[in-house]
């Protein structure tokens, strides 16, 4: 893929911050969605936010 002006490579720490923000946002909005669509046929997904895992300085395939 061609690189455009202004593109950048985020670090793993930056990606973790973004992932944590997305997970926390999803946790906040999930009750609203469940109130609006209580009969949604999709099964609930695990609500793993990463905050219940010990942090590691070494990234694993699961972190990617």
Domain ranges in the chain are: 12-37
Instruction: Grade residue 63 by pLDDT with cuts at 50, 70 and 90.
Output: low
pLDDT of residue 21: 94
pLDDT value of residue 60: 56
Residues 23-54 pLDDT 10s: 899 888 888 888 999 898 876 665 555 555 55
Residues 6+ apart with CB under 8 A from 19: 50
**In the predicted model, what is the mean pLDDT of the chain?**
76
pTM of the entire structure?
0.51
42: exposed, middle or buried (C-beta count within 10 Å: 0-12, 13-18, 19+)? exposed
Q: With 60 as the cut, is the pLDDT of residue 64 above it?
A: no
């Amino acid at each position: 893929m061609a690189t455009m002006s202004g593109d950048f490579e985020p670090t793993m720490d930056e990606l973790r911050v973004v992932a944590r923000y997305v997970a926390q946002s999803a946790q906040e909005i999930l009750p609203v969605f469940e109130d609006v669509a209580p009969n949604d046929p999709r099964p609930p997904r695990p609500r793993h936010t990463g905050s219940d895992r010990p942090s590691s300085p070494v990234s694993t395939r699961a972190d990617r």
